[in-house]
Structure 1
Amino acid sequence: MSETFDLLVKGGVVVSGGQARVMDIGVRSGVICALEDELASEGAEELLQADGMVVMPGMIDVHTHFNEPGFAHWEGFASGSASLAAGGVTTYIDMPLNGVPPTVNADILMRKGELGERESIVDFLLWGGLVPGNGEHLTSLAAGGVAGFKAFMSAPASTGEDEFRNVEALELFNGMKEIAKTGKILALHAEKQELLGPLYELNYAYGSARAYSESRPPICELDAVGQALLMAELTGCRLHFVHISTAEACDMIMRARERGIDATLETCPHYLVLSEEDLARLGAVAKCAPPLRSSSERERLWDALAAGKIDMISSDHSPCPIEMKRKDNMFDAWGGISGCQFSLELMLDHGHIRRGLPLSRIAEWTAENPAKRFGLFPRKGVIALGGDADLAIIDLKHKRSISAEEIAYKHKHSPYVGMEVQSRVMASVSRGRVVYRQSTGVEREARGKWIKV
């Protein structure tokens, strides 16, 4: 008698654990219960035929800005998670800023988590914030299950609402001492405000893409990374550097790890597939902080990735209404890139198809390493017996030009629109439930779970 499955995924090239081979995946009660060369279809309640496609672990995006609570007109759990599902992302960690209020104490954390469970289509974790004056709340945030804490070493963009402010050196050092006691991770936006302020004043009047890039040169990132690593060495605080944009910063962090400092880093698709020339060509839709770098720096970042100096890929999806990108002066435009729906496809196209990087490495950067770093492994991050059935089924022969019409997040702009890619997510599975099919779109019923770690 054949086994019965709630879901059976047949015939795909399954990528996980350093391997890629044709296998069938049987799922029962949201968990992978069978991985075999061939499983009988009889008795399966739902069948996903994946012949000729690859089956990746669902991506874990550790850096999204869905602006909940109170700011969902920019992006909310419902629209943001729908976009992730359409892009093969089955778990995400949402940042604490831009919500009204920001997530800087346990009461707001609970409010945000409960809202996410009502509205999110896929599973999620939440970052807490380290801001001036909230040191007394770090312990309760940690006890509340945050994935870690986020802090800025430079002034974050203002939403005109409750402000999430950057911490200066002494506040950062004291915060790191407190966070070290909790065992949690501190995620840092590493740009040095003491350098950015004067450079902003010097370049603002010019208002161009080039002036914006020159106002945030690599030294701002490198100086901040160096200071944070020294503080981590003194405090024992675990660090995670977000959206690193230079290969030299990757080298600095790797050398620190060799000295025993517990630090990881991410970069983002936009630093790997775009450059400062694209900022000049596309305008503020490609504006971010740190800014896009030169095409030669972009290639050095790919080299760092291939050499194992970058731990993971995240989107840093930072949405806004399109009107906030349409400014005469580049400095006045919102500084964030929208595009979380396309992270996995871009990495497969530019990393695997164009550069020949193994599918198993892509899976490490997008799923396995994030799961290991943030306490989700082996439940998530790999396709393995007993793990959550979080899957992305992708056609690597599907060529298209990314269009605004396919975007599922709220404000349908992105620097990736118009980009040619050879990769298409055909289906996404979250804990055994098909949450997206390319033929029918996103399953909008919210069943995402708030995962506390």
Structure 2
Amino acid sequence: MADLVLENGRLVTPWGVLDAGVAVEDGRITAIAAKSDLPSAEQVIDCSGQYVFPGLFDPHVHMGGRTPFMENIITETQSAAAGGVTSFLQYLRSDSMGYENVTERIELSAERSLVDTSFHFIVSGMEQAKDILGFSERFDIRTFKFYMGGYEPGNPIGIVTADDGVLYAGMERIRHLGDYSFCMVHAEDHPLVQLFTAEVKQTGRQDLQAYTDSRPDFVEEQDILRAIWMAELLGCPLYIPHVTVGAGIDAAIAAKERGARIVLETCPHYLGLTADHEVFHGHRAGIGKVSPPLRDTENQDRLWEGLVSGDITTVGSDHVPIEKSGSALWEERPGFAGMATILPVLITFGLKQGRISLEKIAEVTSLNPARTFGYYPQKGIMAVGSDADFAIVDLDLEKTVNAASTHSRFTSAFDEMTLTGWPTMTIRRGEIIFRDGEVLAEPGSGRVIQRVSSSAG
């Protein structure tokens, strides 16, 4: 007898939508079959009229910041559960070479997260870049992010930007780490951002488009081109998160045709919002402040095209736990919460508008992130032997984005907007962790997960 059976739903896979059910035992999938061929089970869930997605695998999450990590690892993984996210990768950072807070956050994640998690590391300076091999051996982390620009020295977030020397030293080491290793870059040219920010501020503008004008398209394009050049020079795999510009997609396509290993990610807010959206008018401009910034419809259309073509292969929330008022554009911190709204955004602005298929949504939110970073086939797919992670979704369910619907303590770029296509249930390793608006999982029921296989280069 199985522990759990899902029946009467439609299973969404990257290869098609199936009229089938799923059986689960000991947290893993044991059968995918027609209802008549499923085993009996201790618990049967009727998914009639709903679509069963593989649990989302969010590759881009930030925790901590101005709020205590030990608190928001609970509140924000509650939000993950509400959004159908069953696994996520979070960015760690350390101001010291002892990496004490890295150890602490890994331990706290194991003790307090409601969903499964693992880690990237943000490199702060040359000393850490030169220590990448030792750090990787110690913590078994193979993905390292460098902020090429976009943040002033002494910024309140604590980001340390990487010059070309730091980036080179990092790539030179990352290329030896083997499978699933990537150099990751935040691509915004710092001198240009400084120049244009000063010029735009002098005008006195407080609209969100002013912030976008301070970071025009080519600021991102230039750093993408520079990172690609260096990655090709050294033979280092490159992952470019939160891509917002079509020119960046074109640059990556050209490099991949030359044999480079490059993976592009974009985020739901770039797919659903633009800098001139009415939701950010008046005193709400700062709500939409994010780095890189929201762009225009031309770039947004290219992002949708890139997802469909496969040139952009992953979608990450870039979830940041920040409370925002929105009234002071230039003083507001960039970023916002996003894990709970990944699916509703893709369904509202993508599926419902004929821009993307159900199959592609499953691919870019689950299969591709898990496979890119080495957690497939344990994660990212509905297959016999894989973890029983599911997001059961009502494609027509409408909700207003607020604290009640997202279960997050923090501001969303989509606050007060009505989105369609929300999870009604989330199952992580066979356990129902969210159901009909209520988070059911206990803190610490999530796990720190390891890559399924790896080999050093």
Q: TM-score, normalised by structure 2?
A: 0.91
Report the AA paired with residue 142 of structure 1: S
Residue 280 of structure 1 and its aligned partner are, at CA, apart by: 4.4
Matched residue, 1:142: 136
Q: How does 1:149-160 map to 2 (within 5 A)?
A: 149-156=144-151
Taking only aligned residues, the RMSD between alpha carbons, in angstroms, comes to 2.2
Which residue, out of 288, 291, 302, partners 1:289? 291
Residue 200 of structure 1 and its aligned partner are, at CA, apart by: 1.7
Report the AA paired with residue 220 of structure 1: V
Residue 264 of structure 1 and its aligned partner are, at CA, apart by: 0.3
Matched residue, 2:455: none
Contact 2:142–2:174 (CA<8 Å) still a contact in 1? Answer: no
Equivalent residue of 1:276, what SS?
coil
Identity of aligned residues (%): 27
Q: How does 1:245-324 map to 2 (within 5 A)?
A: 245-278=244-277, 280-281=280-281, 282-323=284-325
Aligned length in residues: 442
Equivalent residue of 1:232, what SS?
helix
Matched residue, 2:429: 431
Give distance in 1, aligned partners of 2:152 and 2:110.
28
Give distance in 2, aligned partners of 1:84 and 1:147.
24
Which residue, out of 70, 73, 77, partners 1:77? 73
Matched residue, 1:440: 438
Report the AA paired with residue 166 of structure 1: T
Give distance in 1, aligned partners of 2:227 and 2:334.
23
Residue 155 of structure 1 and its aligned partner are, at CA, apart by: 4.2
1:409 matched to 2:408 = yes
Matched residue, 2:344: 345
Contact 1:371–1:381 (CA<8 Å) still a contact in 2? Answer: yes
Q: What are the Cα deviations for residues 377-411 of structure 1, in whole angstroms up to 9, with x where unaligned?
A: 11111100110011100011223333332231222
Give distance in 2, aligned partners of 1:371 and 1:73.
24
Contact 1:105–1:138 (CA<8 Å) still a contact in 2? Answer: no
Give distance in 1, aligned partners of 2:96 and 2:117.
15
Equivalent residue of 2:307, what SS?
helix
Which range moves more in the overlay, 16-25 or 33-42? 33-42
Contact 1:90–1:123 (CA<8 Å) still a contact in 2? Answer: yes
Which residue, out of 98, 102, 111, partners 1:109? 102
Contact 2:275–2:295 (CA<8 Å) still a contact in 1? Answer: yes
Give distance in 2, aligned partners of 1:160 and 1:319.
17
Q: TM-score, normalised by structure 1?
A: 0.92
* Structure 2 spans left out of the alignment, 5+ residues: 452-457
Q: What are the Cα deviations for residues 237-294 of structure 1, in whole angstroms up to 9, with x where unaligned?
A: 1111010001121111111111111110111111111001127424111110111111
Matched residue, 1:33: 30
Report the AA paired with residue 32 of structure 2: L
How has the CA–CA distance of structure 1 residues 137 and 39 changed in structure 2, closer, same or farther, with 3 Å as cutoff? farther
Which residue, out of 418, 421, 424, partners 2:419? 421
Report the AA paired with residue 429 of structure 1: I
Equivalent residue of 1:285, what SS?
helix
* Structure 1 spans left out of the alignment, 5+ residues: none
Give distance in 2, aligned partners of 1:48 and 1:232.
48
Contact 2:31–2:38 (CA<8 Å) still a contact in 1? Answer: no
Give distance in 2, aligned partners of 1:35 and 1:104.
48
How has the CA–CA distance of structure 1 residues 286 and 159 changed in structure 2, closer, same or farther, with 3 Å as cutoff? farther
Give distance in 1, aligned partners of 2:44 and 2:38.
8
Matched residue, 1:173: 168
Give distance in 2, aligned partners of 1:392 and 1:380.
13
Give distance in 1, aligned partners of 2:424 and 2:388.
16
Residue 87 of structure 1 and its aligned partner are, at CA, apart by: 0.1
